[in-house]
Amino acid sequence: MAVITYPFDTYRIFHKTRESISNETARIVCFDGSRWRGTLFFYRNPAPALASVHLGTDALYLRFDDWMYPHIIDTLRNESPLFLTLDDNTGRGWVATSDEPVGEEEG
């Protein structure tokens, strides 16, 4: 297929109280307005060998090692606009910003 990108402007964070069988430690659910656009899953090492996927509902499941959690939280708090992106050919996904000028400070 192709590279799929969805914008998002709000999110909800969920922290797990107990370790699950999959080693999932947290998840962040992302919305564009009231429309669900995807979920970011964070796994403790060893993370399961699960690819990120595009769901038939125009949403993405993106999977990360939990060491990436603070970096993604920093991006969510300090950048705008934000996008969820998935390369459907490789199963690799990312959280991204738009093109930004060098030296720009978010206000």
pTM of this structure = 0.85
pLDDT in tens, 64-98: 988 999 999 999 999 999 999 999 888 889 999 98
- In this predicted structure, the answer to whether residue 107 has a pLDDT above a threshold of 60 is no
String of DSSP letters for 11-74: EEEEE-SS--TT-EEEEEEEEETTEEEEEEEEEPSSPP----EEETTTEEEEEEEGGGHHHHHH
pLDDT in tens, 10-56: 999 999 877 666 788 899 999 999 999 999 999 887 666 677 888 87
